[in-house]
Structures are given as structure tokens and as C-alpha cells.
Amino acid sequence: MSTGERTGATAGATVGLTDSVTTSVMRLSIRMRLTLWNASVLALVLGAFALAGWATLTTTLQLHTDAAVRESARVVAGAIRAERAAAYARGDVEAVRGETEQAVLRELRVGDLEVFIADEGTQLMAARQPGPSRTTINTIDEAVLLPDEVRTLLRDVVQTRAAEVADERQVAVGTIRLRGVKWRAGVTRLAPMAQDPGEPPLLVAVLHSLEADRLLLRAVRNTLLLAIPLALLASVITGYALARRSLAPLDAMTTRTASITAANLSDRLQVVNPHDELGRLAHIVNGLLGRVGDAFSTQRQFVADASHELRTPIAIIRGEADVTLRRSTRDEAEYREALQVIQQESVRLSRIVDDLFLLARVDAGSPIGEHREVAIAELVATAARSVRSLAESRGVTLQLNETAATDGLRMHGDSVLLHRLMLNLLDNALKHAPTSSTVRVRVDVTDQLVQIDVEDEGSGVPSALRDRVFERFVHGASSRLASDENGHGSGGAGLGLAIAQAIAHAHGGHIALHPSTELTSGACFRVSLPRSASASGELA
């Protein structure tokens, strides 16, 4: 296998392992993941704290030990120099060598430190070695040998580190192993006195055992090794219990949500605390259920109303066909009358189906027209001419008012849909306008909008229907009662205003029900469309 193949295989194995770990983690419950994340973060914090504490304690102990041996070496050297000066002052020159060092070690209290005094030839002059029960002063006469480890340290200081210990103010510090125990040693050099310049310099070595520090560090280490796992175990248990208790409302919400079906959409989730995250989630889910319930009710009502509206023309067509076929022979006039009724109801049925299809496309967000330039004033005038004969047949005057600013005004939109919008509004006004009344159409323009008002002198929109006037299958009282001369309903399916509003929305505008500006009664529907309107996502 080549290097590239081995690298690719290794990378593939790593990616596979990562995906496997990620999949395993995702299969865990939220409470378990929260518990593991909490324990992981706590483990990192405790580990970092333990390492930092261990490093700090180790450094502090070493600094304290180094300071102790340095200070003790300076004190011993200074005491020897002072004792020598006093002996020279008394004239006791013969007793200076050896006895001076012994006297200093007898009188100084340096705790559990061991002190060795030797010349540069590593000849031991005096030593102090604390025992279990008393302090023993060893002298030259007692033939105490200088430990090899100390001798080696002194030789190293004399040979390689002499510059560090030019006098007793400077102390060289190092670590040696003596009698199976590590010691921290401080060595300083005591220069000859001015009264006897030929006297060889002395080396003062002060040793501090590191055994107590080692035992302390071991105790701290054992404590950390025991305390950290116990703390993690307690964190896992406590974290799991807290996560389970905190997520208990989520389990209840899950169970409750799973039990909600189309038959009980009115049920809601219980909001225990509206101020926390789960309370806000329950509030949002309740809002969603409310919107779903409203949409479901609207859809159910839509289907019921559509079925009702479709059933009427179908029933008429079927009735006319049954009546016509009941007799074996009929004259041509009767057949023509029956076919005429069937044709009228077929046209009405086709119009309802087309309207439902258009609204279905609007609900689905599908494009419902083509985006082109439209001469709005000409379009309104064309729509008014289209219904003028209908207005005359009902004894209603149609009045069109245009301002000079609308001459040649063009906007972007679908001319077929906008023409249908105007026809729906005019048809609605004519249905509610009493005989010998006037339906007024005004076109005006502002800096941003094109406004078209359609007013009638009818009874107006009942207050109970004002908020629902643009909903589907909503009929006014007069349209419910309207009928043509043959007894067939002419009030429409209640989709005209809903379709007009959908077309206005598709052009980035809207239709609003306004109080009539000139009449004491009646209704005024105002269409507001942007002058440079681009489609709101529903025009192709």
C-alpha cells in the first residue's frame, strides 16, 4: 500500500470514528447529554484547578525551602565571622580555628536543618545533625566524616560555581540525595578575616530535608485523586437528577402534544412557568395549535361552504334534466328553456370552480399572473364599461371620476387580474345598490400609491360582518336574498371580495372598507396599489 493510500485509509477511519461517536452521542437523551456535558466541564475545571494547585504548591514549597537554606547559610556564616571577630578582639587567636565554628553551632537554633562547615579542601570543621530526640554537635575530634554527597556538592561549588559564592552574602542552592532522602542544600563561602589573611576560606553547607514536602505532596495528590472522582460522581448524580426534574415539564408536553389529534385541536399544553424557556415553548406550541385549529376550522368551513355552493347549481342542473326527461315528448321551447337553465348554472358552476382554483393557488403561494405595465385609468374605465349594461338593467347610475394626475399613469401588474378585481368590486356594489341610486368610482394617485374607491348607496356592511367581509363565502344580507326573475340565486358564492383582496395582495397592495366620503349610507371599498409595485411573490 502506498503512502497516499495509507493516509487516505487513516483519514477515512478517523472520519468514520468521529461519525460513530457523534451518532452515539445523538442517540442519548437530552438529560443524559446535559449530565455528560456538565460532568465533562466540571472534570476540565477540576483537572485544571488540581494542576494549577499542584504547580503552585510545589513551587511555593521549593521557594520556601530555598529561602530557608539561603537565610540559614547567611546566618551561620555571619555568626562565625562575628565570633571570629570577637575572638581576635580578645586576643584568643589560637582558639579561633575549629572552636569558633563549634561554638556557633552550639548556640544557633536552626530547627531541623543540618549544617556542615568545611574548608575548601573539604576537611570537615564542624557539623550539626539533628537526631530524633536531641541535637548532636560533631567536631573534628569526634572523627565525623563529611558525607560523600556533601563533599561532592562542596567540590562542585568550589570548582564550577565559585563566582556564585564570592562571600557569605551569596548562596548557591542545589539538590542532593543523602541517606536515601532528597535534600535541598545551600552553600556559601566565608572569606578569611583581615587579621589573618592566610587563613583558608570556609564553606558553610545548610541542608533541608525534602521528605516532609514529599509526604505533604503525596497526601495532597492522594486527596485530589480521591476527591475529584467523588466530586464528578456527585456531579453526575446531581446533574442527572436536576436535568430530569427540569425537563419533566418537557416530557409532559411531549405526552400531551402526542395526544392532540384533529378531534381535540382545542386542547392546550399546560404552562407551568410562563417566564422560563419551557413556559415560552409551551406558549408558542399553544399558539401554533391555535393557528392550526383555526386553519383546520377554516378549511372545514371552506369545504362545507364550497360543497353547499357547488351543490346548488348541480341540483338545479340535475332537476332540470330529470324534469325534461320525465316526459317522453316535449316541444322545442321546453327543451330550449331547460337547456338554457342548465347552461346558466353550468356557467355559474364553472365560475365557482375557477374562483376556488384561484384561491387555492393563492393559498399555495403559486404565481397567479404575469408582471407587465398596465394603464390603470384605462383599465378602470374598461371595467366600468363592462358593467354599464348591468347597472342600467338594475336602474343604477355608474359614475367614473378621474383626476388629471391619472392620465397616462402606468403601473406594473397583471391587467387580467386587475380587471377582475375591478369587476368584482363593481359587481358587489351593484348588487347592494338600490334602484335609482349611484355607484361612484374614483381614481386618484399619491406619491407612492394608486387609490381606487368604489362607493354605493346601499344599506352598508353590517357591523357584525365588517371584520369578516373579505373572508370566503361571507354573504351580505341583501345578496343572500337576491334572486333573479326565474327564482335562481344571483347573490354569488361569496368569493368576489376574497378574490379581489387576494389579487390586491399579489400586487403588493390591499383593499380596505372605508366610511363613505360623500354619502350618509352605503359602503366604500378603497383599493391601494403601489405605483411602482412589483409583485409580492405571487405574480410570475
Q: Which residues pair with 119 in a beta bridge?
A: 202
d(CA 300, CA 310): 15
Confidence at residue 291, expressed as pLDDT on a 0 to 100 scale = 87
Counting as low any pLDDT under 70, the low residues of the chain are 1-27, 92-98, 110, 130-145, 194-198, 364-367, 369, 404-406, 475-493, 515-520, 532-540
Confidence at residue 43, expressed as pLDDT on a 0 to 100 scale = 92
3-state secondary structure 217-234: HHHHHHHHHHHHHHHHHH
Q: 156-175 pLDDT, tens per residue?
A: 877 777 777 777 788 888 88
Could you please report the per-residue DSSP string of 58-72? HHHHHHHHHHHHHHH
d(CA 103, CA 62): 30
Which residues make Cβ contacts (< 8 Å) with residue 255, sequence separation at least 6?
none
Scored b (16 or more CB within 10 A) or e, 104-115 reads: bbeeeebeebbb
Confidence at residue 222, expressed as pLDDT on a 0 to 100 scale = 94
3-state secondary structure 373-395: EEEHHHHHHHHHHHCHHHHHHCC
**Three-state DSSP class for 398?**
strand
Scored b (16 or more CB within 10 A) or e, 177-213 reads: ebeeeebbbbbbbbeeeeeeeeeeebbbbbbbbbeeb
Confidence at residue 14, expressed as pLDDT on a 0 to 100 scale = 57
| Residue 231 dihedral angles phi and psi, to the nearest 5° | -65, -40
Q: 445-480 pLDDT, tens per residue?
A: 888 888 999 998 888 888 778 878 888 777 664 443
Which residues make Cβ contacts (< 8 Å) with residue 69, sequence separation at least 6?
113, 171, 173, 184, 185, 186, 206, 207, 208
Confidence at residue 511, expressed as pLDDT on a 0 to 100 scale = 92
Whether the Cβ atoms of residue 425 and residue 454 lie closer than 8 Å to each other: yes
Confidence at residue 540, expressed as pLDDT on a 0 to 100 scale = 42
Q: Which amino acid is at 58?
A: T
Confidence at residue 476, expressed as pLDDT on a 0 to 100 scale = 60
**Three-state DSSP class for 129?**
strand
Whether the Cβ atoms of residue 80 and residue 100 lie closer than 8 Å to each other: yes
Q: How many CB atoms lie within 10 A of CB 215?
A: 10
Confidence at residue 304, expressed as pLDDT on a 0 to 100 scale = 76
For 539, counting Cβ atoms within 10 Å of its Cβ (0-12 exposed, 13-18 middle, 19+ buried), the class is: buried
Q: Which residues pair with 260 in a beta bridge?
A: none
Whether the Cβ atoms of residue 110 and residue 206 lie closer than 8 Å to each other: yes
Parallel/antiparallel/unpaired status of strands 124-130 and 114-119:
antiparallel
Q: 288-322 pLDDT, tens per residue?
A: 888 888 888 877 777 777 777 777 778 888 888 88
Does this model's pTM top 0.85? My answer is no
Q: 92-149 pLDDT, tens per residue?
A: 666 556 677 777 777 777 678 888 888 877 777 788 776 554 444 544 444 456 788 8
d(CA 42, CA 490): 77
